[in-house]
Structure formats: structure tokens, C-alpha cells
Structure 1
Amino acid sequence: MGATLDHVMMRVSDLEESLEWYGEHLGYEEKDRWEADTFTNVYLGPEKLGEEGAMLELTHNHDGGPEEMGDAWGHIAVRVPDGELEDYYQQLMDEGVEDYRDPDSCGGRYAFVKDPDGHEIEIVKRDPEQGALWSIDHTMIRVEDADEALGWYTRKFEYEHTGRWEADSFANYFMKPEGASDESMALELTYNYGDNTYDLGDAWGHLCVRADDLNEFWDDLMTRDAPDYRDPESCDNEYAFTKDMDDHEIEIIERDPNSDSLFPN
């Protein structure tokens, strides 16, 4: 089935400010842009983005930015070389990035900063062979039922459980398609013990998976009883959307290797 994670979309209030921020601090470059009547979408990523590397999609609605961050959406995580977390975090601080959670406060294992809209960005240590500097390592979303979520992504998308972290008050589960490369983005499911009901908000957009054949992939999802949210026909057979058990939107897209655009056309 494949289902490589292609990109993660989030909404921003000032597109040019966000493009400048990601370009200056993470070295992201614009990969492609789609201008519509009411919104603009921009794909971003490191210069040397691998074939299975995930992009960041920024969406700016022309009538304004997101109104609510919500807490169902967690963060994206970006990679720095193992052993250099403190150096890269200090570099961001020297560049004027907001000091949100420094490495010391996170036991030296990771750190967090925020972008201009308050989207949280985790910085994680990885072997350089696992992906380009600042490339997206994983996207975290919160789920209300860990067992249901793990089963859903296994059944619908054939994802494998690749890692787990248990703490006193929560558990993190990492998932990827079978056979995915180290550079590909993982999905992190966070389950908080106790009160775990969340609001989606509108700042978080969606995950997107890449299909070899859009309609065949969609038919498989329907066979597996995935929600029929926006089928390919309703999207001019250019993409489609389903939703997971917690209403996180998941786009399915088919890339045309001969197209001049990364966006469907």
C-alpha cells in the first residue's frame, strides 16, 4: 500500500513572515506554491530533501489566519546531528528565536521552539544519515484511545509500530509504513493518561500520505471502512481526504513524476 507521509499542513497568519522565519532559522526553501482565490499553499523543506523526506505545507487564508491553536495537534519535530543539539539550539537563540524549552529542561534529549504563530517545533538528535539537517522527523498528534489509534493506522494504512516511550502521565507511540526509510517522517501518537479529550482548532491542518495510484488506494481505504470524507471524484480526482478516529484529516495524493508542479493539476 505504501502510504509514505508526504507532508504536514498547518495554517499561518502571515505567510511572508512564516516563510522568512523557516528560511532564516531552518534553512527551508520554497519547493512549490499554489495560489487559489481564497488561500495560498506553499511547500517548504531543506534544500537536500530526500525522495522520502516530508515537506511542510504552510496555508494562508486570505481573509485571515488561524483563530484557535487547539490541543489535538501537537508539534512537528526536526532533526539535528546527534551530539550537537545544544549547539543548534544556541544558534537559534542567537538568531532571536523564542526560548520555549531548552535542552537542559528536557534532560538533554530534545528541545522545543515556537514559530511566529506559536506552532511548537521539537528539535531531536538523529544520525546524519537519517535525514537532512532540520528535516521533519515526525509529526505528533494526540489521541483519545491509544489501542484504537494503533489499530486504526495499522488496519487502514498498514503502518508498523516502530517505537514507544512510556512516562508517568503519557505514552508516545511511533508509526511508519512498512519498509519506510530512515529519512521518512514518522507519525507520533500521544496518549495522555486521565483526561484526554481534545479540541482540533483550525491552526492544525492535516497529514498527507503519498499513493502510487489514488483511486486504488482510496478503494482499499473504503474496503477497510475508513471514513469517506472527501472522495477523489469530489476533488476532481486530484486528491482525497479521510479522517482518523479522532477526526484528524488525512489527505491522499498521487504524485506525477513528469509534472512541473508538486501540486495536483
Structure 2
Amino acid sequence: MDGTLDHVMLRVGDLEESLDWYQTHLEYEEKDRHEGDGFTIVYLGPEEMGEDEAMLELTHNEGEDVELGDAWGHIAVRVPEGELEDHYEQLMEEGVEDYRDPESCGGRYAFVTDPDGHEVEIVQRDPEQGGTWSLDHTMIRVEDADDALGFWTRKFEYEHTGRWESDSFANYFMKPEDAGEEAMAVELTYNYDGRSYEFGDAWGHLCVRMDDLEDDWDQLMTREAEDYRDPESNDNMYAFTKDQDGHEIELLERDPDADSLFPF
């Protein structure tokens, strides 16, 4: 299987407000849109994107508010090394909420929040690791680090690319073995106090790109991944499994020559 993280989906309460926020402050552009019965899905990303860079999917369900849980943590976007302060100050001048400034984070990173309260971390990276504001990682909280690491290594053949530990928690970064430097990683956060988490509905899913949806799905079933929504139940356009904690993972076979980014 390819295994590259294709996109991360967030649900939003006001689509136009959210689109304006990401397009204004992160300079994202709309890549594609799907209007369904009572819902709209929009793919976003920087104007120039590498082949392995992930997109942001915003989903809006008409007449529904979104509720933040804590099982999902944040998305992280990149800025060039040495430019964290400048980009953070630019966001402040544009009226973005001052959530966690660089000084409070030891000058290494910072956080802002979007209109729905989704946390957006700003991290410093070498430009070869992806362009400004491109998606660097998405963080999910897990209740057992060994189980979570085993899931991503066993089911999706990811490798452990980084770890950071403190007295009370650890962060583990996972990517496919052959992923490009610009590919988005999944960050697994494990808190040592044994807490459990609530999902809410404001975070939707991660999407992993497949080489062959049917064959790779069969391989996942052999590896005892959860049969949540199989390809046949989705007209063989996509499928869903879940990790050990219940985070949803979409599986999608991407056709680079298709007229639309959506498999509908």
C-alpha cells in the first residue's frame, strides 16, 4: 500500500467563515468541492503542493454545530526555520486569537485556534520538508502507547520517525517508511496518568492513500484491522477502518488523472 497521509478532515460550524480564515491567514486555496445532500466538503491547501503533501478537508453539515472533544489534539503547519516569531506576529496583526505564543512555548513552536476552536500548531521546519503553512502533522491522543505504535506499524507499515518525552507525557511521530520529507506525519500523544478521552464530532478522520483499495483493504483485514465501512458498502470508492482507540481512518485510492479529487 502507498500509506501516505492524504488529508485530515475537520468539521466546521460555518463553512464560509472557516474558508475565509484558512484562505486569509494560511494562504490556502480551494482545491476541490463536493456539494452533497445537506453537507459540503472542501479540500484546501497551499497553492504549491508537493506530491506527498497532505490536504485539509473541511466538512460542513447544514444546521449542525460542532462539538470539540479531546481525543484529537491539533493540526500543525510549517514555517521556515527562524521565522516563527515573524509569522506569529503577522497572524496577531491579522486578528487571529493569541492562544499560545512562541515565548510561552520556549521559542520552538506556537499555537493559534481557528473559528471553531480547532488548535493549529505552528512548527519550524527546513524548507525541504515542505512549504510555508503546509501540513506537518496531525496529533491524536491515545490511551495505550504500545497498542497505538503497534497499530500503525503492523497495519500500515509506518515507522517511528521521532519521539519527545516529558515527565507526564510522550509524543511519537509516525510515517510510512518511504514517505517524502514533506509528507504529513501522525503524532501519537500518550499521557502517563491513564486518562481517557471524549471524541466529540469536530474532528472527523485521517485519510491514508492506497495503491489498490480492494487489495489493500483485504491486506488490512488479514492484519485484523477493524472492518468499519468496507469498500463495497461505499460503492468501492473508499473505505473506513478505526484504530485501537476508535479514531476513524479513511482509505482512498487516488487517481492523479481524475477530473475531481473526489471519488464520487
Structure-1-length-normalised TM-score: 0.99
Per the TM alignment, residue 38 of structure 1 is displaced from its structure 2 partner at its CA by 1.6
Distance in 1 of aligned mates of 2:191 and 2:257: 44
Q: Is the 1:232–1:239 contact (alpha carbons within 8 Å) kept by the matching residues of 2?
A: yes
Q: Aligned AA for 1:193?
A: Y
Distance in 1 of aligned mates of 2:185 and 2:222: 24
Distance in 1 of aligned mates of 2:197 and 2:130: 32
SS in 2 for 1:242: strand
Distance in 2 of aligned mates of 1:204 and 1:46: 21
Distance in 2 of aligned mates of 1:179 and 1:259: 25
Per the TM alignment, residue 196 of structure 1 is displaced from its structure 2 partner at its CA by 2.1
Partner of 2:196: 197
Residue-by-residue CA offset, 1:94-152 (whole Å, 9 max, x unaligned): 00000000000000010000000000000000001110110000000000000010011
Partner of 1:31: 31
Bigger shift: 253-262 or 102-111?
253-262
Residue-by-residue CA offset, 1:51-109 (whole Å, 9 max, x unaligned): 1000000000012231x200000000000000010000000000000000000000001
Distance in 2 of aligned mates of 1:49 and 1:100: 28
Partner of 1:216: 215
Q: Aligned AA for 2:128?
A: E
Q: Aligned AA for 2:191?
A: N
Task: Indicate the percent of aligned positions where both proteins have the same amino acid.
Answer: 76
Partner of 2:41: 41
Q: Aligned AA for 2:16?
A: E
Distance in 2 of aligned mates of 1:244 and 1:213: 20
SS in 1 for 2:198: coil
Partner of 2:242: 243
Partner of 1:131: 130
Unaligned runs of 5+ in 2: none
SS in 2 for 1:124: strand
Distance in 2 of aligned mates of 1:64 and 1:23: 23
Distance in 2 of aligned mates of 1:258 and 1:187: 27
Structure 1 outlier segments of 4+, above 6 Å: none
Distance in 2 of aligned mates of 1:195 and 1:155: 23
The reply to whether residue 89 of structure 1 matches residue 56 of structure 2 is no
The reply to whether residue 12 of structure 1 matches residue 12 of structure 2 is yes
Q: Is the 1:143–1:196 contact (alpha carbons within 8 Å) kept by the matching residues of 2?
A: no
Partner of 1:111: 110
Query: How many residues are matched?
Result: 264
Distance in 2 of aligned mates of 1:176 and 1:115: 26
SS in 2 for 1:252: strand
Per the TM alignment, residue 2 of structure 1 is displaced from its structure 2 partner at its CA by 1.9
Unaligned runs of 5+ in 1: none
Distance in 2 of aligned mates of 1:50 and 1:234: 32
Residue-by-residue CA offset, 1:159-189 (whole Å, 9 max, x unaligned): 0000000011100000000111110000000
SS in 2 for 1:16: helix
Distance in 2 of aligned mates of 1:92 and 1:195: 36
Q: Is the 1:52–1:184 contact (alpha carbons within 8 Å) kept by the matching residues of 2?
A: yes
Coordinate RMSD, CA, aligned:
0.6
Distance in 2 of aligned mates of 1:129 and 1:161: 20
